[in-house]
Each structure stands twice: as structure tokens, then as C-alpha cells.
Amino acid sequence: SVKTQQQEPRMNRKKDKGFESPKSVIGYVELTIFPTVVNLNRIKLNSKQCRIYRVRVNELEAPFIYNDPTLEVCHHESKQRNLNYFSSAYTAAVSAVDPDAGHGELVIKVPSELWKQGDDLKVLKVYIEFSLDQPKGGLHFVVPDMEGSMAERGAHVFSFGYQNSTRFWFPCVDSYSELCTWKLEFTVDASMVAVSCGDLVETIYTHDMRKKTFHYVLPIPTAAPNISLAVGPFEILVDPYMHEVTHFCLPQLLPLLKHSMSYLHEIFEFYEEILTCRYPYACFKTVFVDEAYVQVSTYASMSIFSTNLLHSAMIIDQTPLTRRCLAQALAQQFFGCFISRMSWADEWVLKGISGYIYGLYLKKTFGVNEYRHWIKEELDKIVEYELKMGGVLLHPTFSGGKEKDNPTPHLHFSIKHPHTLSWEYYKMFQCKAHLVMRLIENRISMEFMLQVFNKLLSLASTASSQKYQSQMWSQMLLSTHAFLKSISNVSGKDIGPLIKQWVDQSSVVKFFGSFAFNRKRNVLELEIRQDYTSSGTQKYVGPIKVTVQELDGSFNHTLQIEENSLKHDIPCHSKSRRNKKKKIPLMNGEEVDMDLSAMDADSPLLWIRIDPDMSILRKVEFEQADFMWQYQLRYERDVVAQEEAISALEKFPTPASRLALTDILEQEQCFYKVRMQACFCLAKIANSMVSTWQGPPAMKSLFTRMFCCKSCPNIVKTNNFINFQSYFLQKTMPVAMALLRDVQNLCPKDVLNFILDLIKYNDNRKNKFSDNYYRADLIKALTNSLTPAISINNEVRTVDNLNADVRLILEEITRFLNMEKLLPSFRNTITVSCLRAIRQLQKNGHIPSDASLFKSYAEYGHFVDVRIAAVEALVDYTRVERSSAELQWLLTMVHNDPVHYVRHEILSMLCKNPPFTKTTTDSALCNEALVDQLWKLMNSGTSHDWRLRCDAVNLYYTLFGLTRPSCLPLPELGLVLNLKEKKAVLNPTIKPELGVGTVMDTPASIGIHGFNTMEEEDIDMETVHDSQAFIHHHLNLLERPSTPGKEPPSVEQSMLSMPATPVPSFSKETPSLSSKHSSEHGHHHHHHHHEHKKKKKKHKHKHKHKHKHESKDKEKDRERDNSHAYSNSPASGRSLRSPSLSD
Amino acid sequence: MADPAVASGGSLNAGGRGSGGKAASSPAENYYLARRRTLQVVVSALLTECGFESAEKAAVETLTEMMQSYISEIGRCAKAYCEHTARSVPTLSDTVVTLIEMGFNTDTLPVYAKRSQRMVITAPPVTNAPVTPKALSAGQKRTHPAHIPSHFPEFPDPHTYIKTPTFREPVSDYQVVREKAASQRRDVERALTRFMAKTGETQSLFKDDITAFPLIAAQPSTIPYLSALLPSELELQTLEETDSSEQDDQTDSENAAGNIINDDPGADKENSMLPPSGGVPSTKATEDNVIDNPYLRPVKKPKVRRKK
């Protein structure tokens, strides 16, 4: 109901003033609002952690309430500890301030003098003064602790966040669908550069000449979440190819910046060409910052990258990664920034399109093989995730907003808001989105696809130059509906079924295929079965492509998968093997000679592929004979087929498989990633064949032939990595070889010595590339060679009883790790590898298990990759040793570490490698204190970072599951209720009954958890004292209209034993915050006024903000209005505790 | 040649050919003895001239010594003056300056030379000039080529400019070289890291013996990304060395062989250098001056009318 047309944030960043604390911001925001409804007497904005000093509307002081229900999701006195309860409360809290629903943390009352004006839909100007002191989220300050001025220290600050998080650093309508134009001004120290969205119009010194103000104008309508800021003593590089593009990096890194950015113009050209559309903004800025939240984050006309993406020309492995990041950022400039989403449910379209065009870039730059390999990788990833965790739903619809219609009941979080999503789920969501775009492309052709994109961009481009009043700006927002309509208009094709299958519905398809050849009928009898009952699977009905390679050629067949038909008869073309000498035509037209002796003499079939183009999101488990996989590996030219064949051959440890893999390894025309995969498969096969293996260890002679000196085969050639394919192979082969095991299940002595020799003779002096990744991989090879130590009666590991081989390995690792201190390698790859090796040595019992080394490397002040590796080791240590001290150490770091990414990684690693899980209940680590600690962490400790909070939720889920953690003591009252209610009762929260007296007499409360899949109801009861206080509190807080006799019948059962059981039912009443209703409700609540006052008194000490109020009456009115507004959410009970009310 | 000493020296050389056959231990010694004797005669004559009838041998000897020193000093000094002016043979002026320098009044010299009671001394016996012992002759001494006039100095001894082929064949066996390089590097690295570990803080993997496998303690740095991202000096140095060496040729040949189309080899090559000198192709460098990028514009002075 509210439209903002222009925002003018103006910030003074104070960083190095002695009298003020560093890391603070003061600023003001001016919003120009065009009312679209009459009666606009309240304006809701988003704002978190800002201190708001005053608000004025059209020059008149306006009273306001600032209230953030997500600060503490569940009331801190609550003894509720089940995750279901938390998740619904959290969702409700996020909903309560959801800008897309017209809500916000900051409610401004329009002064009554202006109501008349508002009725005429006249423009309102809202002016807000605010400050931020040491913000925990939204803005990140990096201030190295050393001597010198801020500029000399490389101190900088940048905005960050997961999804719409701009509210963390200035009050705004923090929605992707609320567009406005911007004027931005930033006053910073004269030694700093402020980079922000839009065009830098001018830079002006302040009067004392010690600061300067950067004036930006962004004339293209942009949503607040797409606004960002980076301030620092940046080195500036104007792109030599595109002068509108400016790059910024931290001091001393300019040479790296020059090299890393030398390629960007080609990405620009590529996107502009395929989209036949100019880059939408007048300029583009890339900023490289330290301690980045994510590697790439992109905003209107600028992107913020991690400084660790910068690299010199000597670095091979980082180069493609950095280019990929740049390409991703740029793709999102078109779709995500310029074109924004209509609602959260439409997110998949934007992520899908940007991911899809990024894929096209990959295809063009890195080749079709790389592209297909990537698609397979992404497909495998999403399939694995969905089969394990349950479906990923791209386009959720929430009919009526009722929680019981939850489209994803299998998840422990709500997908209703981006801020409640688990990070991993969101990554998978993006992955699925671009795969589905590719499916659409398969259906309507790439040409049409690009036409659709072009159309969307041209519409948006036209709209962007219009005035707000023209109502055109909505063209810049993309919805699922508009996208599908555009597709149907352009292509004339109906992609409804496809959308229904993959977008409106979650899950993937799981096929099992097998076949028989009927010689008499010369027919291939193919059977394709599906598993659609397991979690994360769905039933597929429709066409499927099957490719059959026969002696006479390759043939495509399209089969229809129907409800009840499993068998498909496919007629074969080749009669039999008549002409042995004849060349065999392949799919790509190539004709090759094959040795056909391996195949079945009766069958003309060489190999069969199901859905070769990956046009279904599926997993295929196909059974065919080993020789068929071998033919497929050798002769099928598609890298995906080759990779599938390699995976399948793991199950066939035969000399023929060995030969096929070795041949592939040697074939230089073969895609290097296939050859790398073949290395690992060969190692597995060799281990399975260990008793019959002939000749030297697998790959050894091959490596010698490819990389060692002709004259002395035990010495590797001096490094020359000019051929990247062989470089990657040279790196991979030792790692795979180290996985070889002899009959005693030890790494063969030969292999270990070979690797040690590679390290010894490694000589990089003549190489123009750095060998840091190669050396890191050699250490990885040493690590892989380790096997568990033979321990005699659990003796303590000492230097003396060290195994001789391990001594050699340790010698190398010590030297590498020490040399790294003197000559650090790029991204400290060597240290990372060494830390992993040391952990592996500990884990295998060769050296004493000890966490102190890892702790020192995990400390702030080491390079982030090193820290992550150390944390990984610590997480592993915690699990293996069940160490409570280390777990505490890690959790403390989650609280205190300055780097958000490290905090996030600690929690995700604890989820991946948990110290215990919900199924192992005997762990000593699992205790009440830990439950409380983690509960506190997700409840209130992570309110500044959506992602971190979701990580904490994930960890809680991994450790304790959805219900009340089993390690908690039984409730004191010992009441057992068995509510066999089949209807899902969500959001077990506690509500006061009507009669105050009754509640006061009932010294218990029950949290009811009732998912229909659960056997037992989870009942959470508290001590008499606690529940009394709790209920009392709620009574005072919640000014609900009395609803006598409204309890659901289910509860009545429990009432027998415990009268007046509060029952959750808030979802029945959707919060109606729209201003139209406010007066009505205000009236309704009049009789609760005295209670309200009581509450006010009680929580006076919580008030933080200073306001001026014109009249006490008004304040009371407003209070009433607002106190109602939040009363429907469980969070509201808490939320009203800290409104900014004062006299 | 007004100088009596020099004159007499000249006469020493001129005469004395008769006494060449005198037995002596070596020709060089003979030569010096003869000259010394002449000098003694001169001293005796001067004494006679001054009216002495006899003198003790020791006194004559002392005077001879002084005389010799004086003359030698004049010669040395004169030669120094002459060489100072880049000549090789002293001239009269060199000698005169020398005498003046030594505090001798040169005006008195002609009168003294023309004095009446001057005694004439017979020329000393001729002795052969000492032959410098032949250095180890190495090879044939080269004669002047045709374009060099014969009056130019002769070539020095061949041993001063030709290679002496007397060293042993070095070990060129590839395997041994690699072996040596590898173990040398390893030794250096080990010694260096052990030294660092001994002198600084360490961490240990073992509790029983903290000196085994000492690890240099991890030290947090204030700006950790700098050392992790920037190439070390050693790497930069390696890069410079290899840039001009054979590896570039390899690139070119391989690129050509692989049919890699390179529309702008110049830009590509530039990318491969670090730090790239400009980051801008040379043709663009001139354009650089006219780039209108808002971040390159000067910061404006605050306007006076603006009130804040």
C-alpha cells in the first residue's frame, strides 16, 4: 500500500575519530512516499539494529515504534526446546516484519495533520535519523590491529547479507519488489573511497577538508536489497577495455587486480551478445574485500567479491574459479539486480535465468565437455540432496497462508521466507533452478529462450526510463506467471506439464533400468522401473530418450513412460555381426574400428544409454554387462557417458576394465576430468584385484612414461605446467595412486617411495607457473597413503615407536609446514594440506591426538583457508574424541569470531560431521547445558545474521531432531498426555486462557506437538515457578480478545488432567496489519487498557530510544494499535517487550 | 741531461762492456753489483773533490746508500709524475718538478755541473741486463695481425688471455645433477627450518619429545591475505628468469600446434607477466589520459554557500 519513490540515505562513517567509537555510522534516510490508499496513517519500514533518533514526516515530528521480533524468537523464559516450536515461531517472527506483506520493524505514525493530505494521495516525505554502533550484521568492518592510519592499515567496511538484509544498515522497505530511484551520499575520511550503487556524480571535500562526500545517483529504479556500500583505502583500476568499469582492491594488490580483471570485458561481450541487450547500468564496479561474507555478492551496478579471488598469472587452479565468479556476478546484474523478483516465490526464475546464462558462458569459454560435465555434476548434486533430505520446491504456493498447507512438511524449517531457509537448501534451490531452465530450453530451443530473455530485458529497460507515475515499473519485476506467459508468447509452446513437474512440485525421479536381448525377434527388451515412494522422489510420466549403440550405428528412441508399462520393446537395426572388418558408426558421425571380441556374439548391442541428454532431473541406475560399459567408456564421445561408465566399472574389477581405464588415461584427446576420474576408479579396481594384479602398481608406469625423465625413470622431469591437461593429470595421479593397498591393506612400499621421490625431485625453477597446488596434492597423496596404525594395548604414541614410513611422511610434512612460514604459497595451500595430513596421522593413531595445533591455526589472523582447514580438523577431533572442551571452543568462536564466513563454516561443518546425532543418544556431549546453549544461539545469539541463525537451526536439528531433545530431564509434573490427533497442530505455543484466575491456578503449560507422522506427542512442561511466570507474562502481554470456549476439542482430553491448557491456534487469525483495520481493533482492545499499562511499567527499563511525543493520548492510541498488531505471532509475546516507547 | 747521477748512470750503461766475463753467482746480481760499485766510485770521487784523502769503508758505504736512495727516490717520483699525466717515459719537466718537490734548488744545478774541479769517472764495466725469468710458457705467442702497426706493444703472454685447459670434466650425468640439486635444496631447507624452529617458538606433535619434528609456531598476522595472495619474491624472480627463457618458446610452438587462435597475442603475453608493467596495451596507454572515469576526477572544494 505504500510506494517509495526515492530514498536518499546519507551516511557519515566515523571510523577513526578518537572521541567516537570506531566502526560506527550515523546517517539519515529520506523517503518520498506516494500513498496508494487513502487513510494512510501508519508507515511500516524495515530496520534492524539501527538506533533511530527522530522521524519526521513532511517536516512534522512523527512518533514511531521500533520493534524487532526476530531479536529473540521465543521468549527467553520459555522452557520449550523442541525445534518444531522454534521453527514456527521463527517463521511467524519473520512474517511479522515481512516487507512483502507490508510489515516492518519500524512503524511510523503519520501525524494527524497530514491525514487529510494523505487522503488526497499526496506525496509524503519521511525523514529518519539513525545511527549504527559496531553493527553485528549488515555492515562488516575490517580493521587490522596494527600501527598506522586507517588507510595504512587497509581498514575497510562493506555491506553484506543473505537475501534482503539492507535493513541492517539503514531503514528502508527491504523488499526486492519495492523499487525506487536513489540518491546516495557518503561522507568518509579523505583517505577512503566510498563505492556504492549508481553513478558517482561528484566528490566534495567537507569544510575542514578532512573528509569527502561521495554523491551517487541511481536513476534506474532499484530495490533496497540491491543497494550496497564499500568504503576503504582502495586502489583504483579503470578497466583498460571498458572505461565505465572500475575495479577496486585493497592496497598492494593492484598487480593481482590487473591480472584478474584482464578478462572481464570478454564476459561483458558474451552476455551482451547473447541477450542482444546492453548492460543495463551506466557503469559497473567490482570491489574486492577481505573477510567477505560470500565469494560473490552482486548489487545494482556493482559487485563485492572476496579479495581471495585475486591471483597472479602464475596461478593455474584459481584462474577458472575466479572467472566463473565474475561471470556469475555479471549474469546476476541482468537478472537479479536490474530485473528483480516480484515475490519470494518467483526467486527461482531469476536464479534460474542467471544460472542458465552463466552456463552458456561456461560452454563458450570452457567448452562443451566442461559444460556437460558441470551439468552432470549439478544434476548429481541436486539428486543426491533431494534423495537424502527430501524435495526442493522451486515455486511454493501458500494457499491462504495457512501453515497446515505447508508444501514441504519434510523440512525442519519453513520455505516461506528466504530468511528461514537452510543455506544448503538455498544452494540446492539455485542449482535446481538453472537445471530447470535448461529443461525449458530443451523444450523450446535456445533461440526462443534467448528471445524471451531479450523481451524481458527490453520491457524492463523501457520501464526503467519512465517516471514512477507511469506505473510501468512493475515491468522490472519478474514473476513466474509473467515468465511463463512470455515463454508461451514467444515459443507458442505449452510448457505447463514441465513446470508442474519440476517447479510446482518438489523431488526428482529415480529410474532403474535393465534389459534383455531377444535374439529371435531381434528386439531389445528394456525395462525401466521407478522408485517414487522414497523421500525426495516423484513419479515421472512422459517421454524419455534412450540411445542404443549397435554395430550398425547409434539410434535414438523416444519411449513413453506410462503408469503401468515397465517394459519397452525396441527393435534392433543390426542383424548380427556379419562383417567383422566394418567400421562402426558413432552418434557423432565418426566411424571407428573396434575390437569386438569382448562382446556377446549373439547380440548387436554395444551399449545403451537412458536419458543421455539429462532432460529429466533423475538418477538412473542402469544394468548392462561390463564389456558394454567398457565400450561406452572407450568409444562414446560424450563425457557424461564416459563418466557414467567409469562409475559403473568400479563394480567390475577385471583386467578388461583395467585396460579400458588405462587406455582412457593415456588418451590425450580425452577430456581431462574424465581421465582424472579414471585414476580413482583404477585405484579402486586395483584394490579389488589385489590378489591377481600383475605388474607394477597401477598408474606407476604410466606416470613414469608421461612425466619422468627418459634417461632416469625414477626422477620426475622439472615442472613445466604449460599444458594444463597434463598438469591436472600429473597432480591427480599420485593422489589416486596413494589409495592403492596391498594384501595387508597397506599402501605398497613402492608407491610411498615413489611419492616421496616426487616430492624430493620436485623442481619448479624453470616453470612459469606456481607449483603450490601440485605440492599440496603431493601432501594429499602422502595423507591418502596412511592406514591405521597397529596399536598394541593402546600404548601412548611416542616418537620412539613411530613407524618408519610414517617417520618419513612426518619429516616431509614438518619441512613443508615450516617452509610455508618462510615462503608462503598462494592461498597457503601447503599449510591447508599439511593440517589435513596431521589430523589424518592423529586419527590413524600414528601420533597422539591433540587439538592444540589446530586451535592455534584456527585463530583469527590466519588466512581464511587455513582457518577453515584447522576448524575442520577440530570438528573431526570433537567427534572422534567426544571432546566437550573443543566443542565449547568452537561454539565460542561461533559467538565471537570477527569473520562471518568462519562462523558459518563452523556450524555447517558441525552439521556435516556432527559430534553426535539425534539417533546416538549415549554421547556424554548431549546434555542439557548444550541444548540450552544451542537454543540460545539460534533463539537470540544469531539475530544479526539470517544465514547463521539457519545454520544454528540446522545444527540443532542434526543433534536433537525435531522434538524435545532426549537428554533433557523429564518434565517435573510427569503428566503423560497422549493426544492421538491426526490433524496437524502446528506452532505449539502457549496462550493465556480467558479467566485470569484459572490460569494462575494452573501451574503448568503444555507444548503440544502434533505432526501426523509422529507416534508420540511431545509434551513440554515446566516447573511450577517458570510456567507461572511465563503465563503471567503472556497474560500481560497479549491483548487478545477473549475467546471463551474456543479451544479445539483435542485439548479437552488433556484438560481432564490439566485444566486450562493453552492451545496454539494463532495461525487461524492472520495478522492484519493494514492500516484500514487498525482503528477497529483499537476499539476492540479498549478494555484491556489497564493491563497494557502494567506491561509498560514492567518493561520500561528495556526502552532504548528517545522520542518526542506530541501528546500522551496519541501515544496511547498508537500503542494500542501496535500492541495488537503483533499479538498474533508467538514472537509478539516477546516483541512488545522492547518497543521504543517512553515518555 | 744535466743531472750528474743520471749522466753517470748513462755512462755506466755505455761503458763497461769489458767486464762482462766476471765470475758472479747470477747475471742479475752481477749487474746490480757493478752499478753499486760505480756509485761507490762516484761517492769516493766526490769525497776527493771535497778534499778528503781517505775515508772509512763504512762511511763510504753509508754515503753510497744515501746517494742510491736519493737517486731512486728521484726516479720513482719522476715516474709517478709522468704516469700521472698518462705518459710512460719521464721528461725533463717531470724530473725538475720532482727535484723541486724534494726541496732541491734547480737553479744551482747548471753551475754545479760546470764546476772546474769536476772529476771524470770512467764508465763502469758493462754487464748484461737481468733477464726476467720466463713464465711458464703456454702456447705460441701471437704476433701482431696485419692491421696493427708493428710499433705497438706486443701481445702479453698467452697465459694471460687464453683458457688453461687443465680442469677436470664436471659431472654432467643428469641423474646425479638432479640428485645433487634435490638433496642440496632439502638440506638447506631442513637446516633453515630447524634453525628457525630452534630460535623461535615451536609447536610439537609429540608430548614425550618436543624436539622431534619441531614445527615453527603459527603466528597470526594482521593482514593475512597479503602474504597468502602476493607471489613471494622468489617466485617473482623465477618468473622473470623463465619469462625470457625456453618456456616461452614452448608456449608459442604449442599454441601454434594446438591451433589456438589468439587474436591479440600482445595482450595475452602481457597477462602472463607479473606485475604487468601497465596492465594496459601500449596503444591504449595514450588513451588513458583521456579516460573520463568519475573516480579519477579531482575532489571538489566545498561550496561556500552550502551550509551544513
pLDDT > 90: percent of chain A: 65
Q: Which residues of B touch A190 (CB under 8 A)?
A: 299
Minimal-distance CA residue of chain B relative to A245: B293
| Helices and strands in chain A, H and E counts | 33, 34
Contact criterion met (CB below 8 Å) for A271 and A252: no
Min Cα separation A716/chain B (Å):
10
* Residue B215 contacts A, CB cutoff 8 Å: yes
pLDDT of A45 strictly over 50:
yes
pLDDT of residue A1023: 35
Q: What cell was used for A144? A: 587490522
* Residue B50 contacts A, CB cutoff 8 Å: no
* Residue A201 contacts B, CB cutoff 8 Å: yes
Q: Which of A863, A864, A897 to mutate to test the interface with B (most CBs of B within 10 A)?
A: A863
* Residue A796 contacts B, CB cutoff 8 Å: yes
ipTM of the complex, rounded to two decimals? 0.79
Average pLDDT, chain A: 83
Q: What is the pLDDT of residues A710-726, one digit of tens each?
A: 888 889 999 999 999 99
Stronger pLDDT, A10 or A183, i.e. the higher one: A183
* Residue A801 contacts B, CB cutoff 8 Å: no
pLDDT of A703 strictly over 90:
yes
Q: Which residues of B touch A145 (CB under 8 A)?
A: 222
pLDDT band at A350 (very low <50, low <70, confident <90, very high): very high
pLDDT of B247 strictly over 80:
no
- Give the separation between CA B224 and CA A861, rounded to whole angstroms: 6
- Give the separation between CA B146 and CA A534, rounded to whole angstroms: 102
pLDDT of A754 strictly over 90:
yes
Q: Which residues of B touch A709 (CB under 8 A)?
A: 174-175, 178
Q: Which of B174, B210, B223 to mutate to test the interface with A (most CBs of A within 10 A)?
A: B223
Q: Which of these ranges, A8-12, A1093-1097, B211-215, has the smallest mean pLDDT? A: A1093-1097
E-only strand ranges, A98-208? 106-109, 124-133, 139-142, 156-159, 179-189, 193-196, 199-205
Give me the mean pLDDT over the B206-232 stretch: 88
Q: Which residues of A touch B189 (CB under 8 A)?
A: 815, 819
The enclosing H or E element of A222 equals strand A211-223
Contact criterion met (CB below 8 Å) for A1103 and A1141: yes
Min Cα separation B168/chain A (Å):
24
Name, of A112-121, A577-586, A681-690, B33-42, the range with top average pLDDT: A681-690
E-only strand ranges, A774-902? none
Q: In terms of C-beta density within 10 A (0-12 exposed, 13-18 middle, 19 or more buried), how is residue A940 classed?
A: middle
* Residue B207 contacts A, CB cutoff 8 Å: yes
Note the helical H segments in A823-863.
829-843, 852-858
pLDDT of A1030 strictly over 50:
no
pLDDT of residue A975: 40
Min Cα separation A63/chain B (Å):
26
- Give the separation between CA A291 and CA A295, rounded to whole angstroms: 9
Cβ contact, residue pair B223, A144, below 8 Å: yes
Cβ contact, residue pair A199, B302, below 8 Å: no
E-only strand ranges, B162-298? 202-203, 215-216
Average pLDDT, chain B: 73
Q: Which residues of A touch B291 (CB under 8 A)?
A: 238, 243
3-state secondary structure of B215: strand
Q: Which of B175, B189, B235, B259 to mutate to test the interface with A (most CBs of A within 10 A)?
A: B235
The enclosing H or E element of A1133 equals helix A1130-1135
Q: Which residues contact A508 (CB under 8 A, 6 or more apart)?
A: A382, A383, A386, A387, A391, A536, A537, A538, A617, A618, A619
Cβ contact, residue pair A827, B229, below 8 Å: yes
pLDDT of residue A731: 96
Q: What cell was used for B257? A: 600446434
Min Cα separation B242/chain A (Å):
6
E-only strand ranges, A410-541? 477-478, 509-518, 523-530
Min Cα separation A10/chain B (Å):
13
Cβ contact, residue pair B218, A768, below 8 Å: no
Min Cα separation B218/chain A (Å):
6
pLDDT of residue A579: 58
Cβ contact, residue pair A711, B174, below 8 Å: yes
pLDDT of residue A711: 86
The enclosing H or E element of A324 equals helix A318-334
Categorise residue B248: left if φ over 0, alpha if ψ from -120 to 50, beta otherwise.
alpha
In angstroms and rounded to an integer, the radius of gyration of the C-alpha atoms of chain B is 41
E-only strand ranges, A23-105? 24-35, 42-45, 51-57, 60-61, 64-66
pLDDT of residue B49: 86
Neighbours of B120 (CB within 10 A): 7
Q: What cell was used for A933? A: 546453549
Give B 128-157 residues with CB within 8 A of chain A.
none
Give me the mean pLDDT over the A1083-1108 stretch: 39
| The residue type at A390 | G
Q: In terms of C-beta density within 10 A (0-12 exposed, 13-18 middle, 19 or more buried), how is residue A1086 classed?
A: exposed
pLDDT of residue B289: 57
Q: Which of these ranges, A469-473, A626-630, A927-931, B20-24, has the smallest mean pLDDT? A: B20-24
* Residue A115 contacts B, CB cutoff 8 Å: no
Q: Which residues of A touch B225 (CB under 8 A)?
A: 250, 290, 307-308, 863-864
- Give the separation between CA A226 and CA A329, rounded to whole angstroms: 13
Length of chain A (residues): 1143
- The alpha carbon dihedral of A290, A291, A296, A302 has a sign of negative
Cβ contact, residue pair A715, B272, below 8 Å: no
Cβ contact, residue pair B275, A764, below 8 Å: no
The torsion angles phi and psi of A68, rounded to 5 degrees, stand at: -115, 100
Q: Which residues of B touch A797 (CB under 8 A)?
A: 206
Min Cα separation B243/chain A (Å):
7
| Helices and strands in chain B, H and E counts | 11, 2
pLDDT of A139 strictly over 90:
yes
Give me the mean pLDDT over the A990-1000 stretch: 31
Q: Which of A186, A772, A818, A846 to mutate to test the interface with B (most CBs of B within 10 A)?
A: A818
pLDDT of residue A528: 93
pLDDT of residue A1044: 37
Q: What is the pLDDT of residues A378-401, one digit of tens each?
A: 999 999 999 999 899 999 887 654
pLDDT of residue A593: 87
* Residue B213 contacts A, CB cutoff 8 Å: yes
pLDDT of A9 strictly over 70:
no
pLDDT of B77 strictly over 80:
yes
Min Cα separation A892/chain B (Å):
19
* Residue B249 contacts A, CB cutoff 8 Å: no
SS (H, E, C) A613-631: CCCCCEEEEECCCHHHHHH
- Give the separation between CA A876 and CA A1015, rounded to whole angstroms: 34
Q: Which residues of B touch A199 (CB under 8 A)?
A: 294
Q: Which residues of A touch B251 (CB under 8 A)?
A: 722
Contact criterion met (CB below 8 Å) for A550 and A544: no
- Looking at residue B129, the DSSP 8-state letter turns out to be P
CA distances from A660 to A470, A497, A630, A657 (A): 67, 42, 6, 5
Q: What is the pLDDT of residues A887-909, one digit of tens each?
A: 999 999 999 999 999 999 999 99
Contact criterion met (CB below 8 Å) for A337 and A277: no
* Residue B225 contacts A, CB cutoff 8 Å: yes
- Give the separation between CA A197 and CA A185, rounded to whole angstroms: 11
Give me the mean pLDDT over the A215-244 stretch: 95
Categorise residue A641: left if φ over 0, alpha if ψ from -120 to 50, beta otherwise.
alpha
Cβ contact, residue pair A848, B206, below 8 Å: yes
pLDDT band at A618 (very low <50, low <70, confident <90, very high): very high
Cβ contact, residue pair B222, A861, below 8 Å: yes
Which residue pairs, CB below 8 angstroms and at least 24 apart, start in A893-897? A893/A858, A894/A937, A894/A948, A894/A952, A895/A937, A895/A941, A897/A860
Question: Before B294, cis peptide (omega within 30)?
Answer: no
Cβ contact, residue pair B242, A262, below 8 Å: no
pLDDT band at A581 (very low <50, low <70, confident <90, very high): low
Neighbours of A194 (CB within 10 A): 25
pLDDT of A375 strictly over 80:
yes
Cβ contact, residue pair B205, A838, below 8 Å: yes
Give B 80-99 residues with CB within 8 A of chain A.
none
Length of chain B (residues): 308
Q: Which residues contact A905 (CB under 8 A, 6 or more apart)?
A: A868, A871
Min Cα separation B268/chain A (Å):
9
Q: What cell was used for B286? A: 595514450
CA distances from A728 to A323, A369, A675, A715, B258 (A): 18, 16, 9, 19, 18
pTM above 0.80, yes or no: no
Stronger pLDDT, A355 or A19, i.e. the higher one: A355
Pairing verdict, β A2-7 and A24-35? antiparallel
Give A 272-291 residues with CB within 8 A of chain B.
283, 290
Cβ contact, residue pair B247, A259, below 8 Å: no
Give me the mean pLDDT over the A83-92 stretch: 92
pLDDT of A306 strictly over 50:
yes
Q: What cell was used for A233? A: 583505502
pLDDT of B124 strictly over 70:
no
* Residue B193 contacts A, CB cutoff 8 Å: yes
pLDDT of residue A855: 96
Measured in whole angstroms, the distance separating CA A986 from the mean position of its chain's CA atoms is 27
Which residue has 623463465 as its cell numbers?
B242
Contact criterion met (CB below 8 Å) for A548 and A570: yes
- Looking at residue A862, the DSSP 8-state letter turns out to be B
- Give the separation between CA A700 and CA A228, rounded to whole angstroms: 53
Stronger pLDDT, B285 or B116, i.e. the higher one: B116
Q: Which residues contact A867 (CB under 8 A, 6 or more apart)?
A: A857, A858, A859, A860, A899, A902
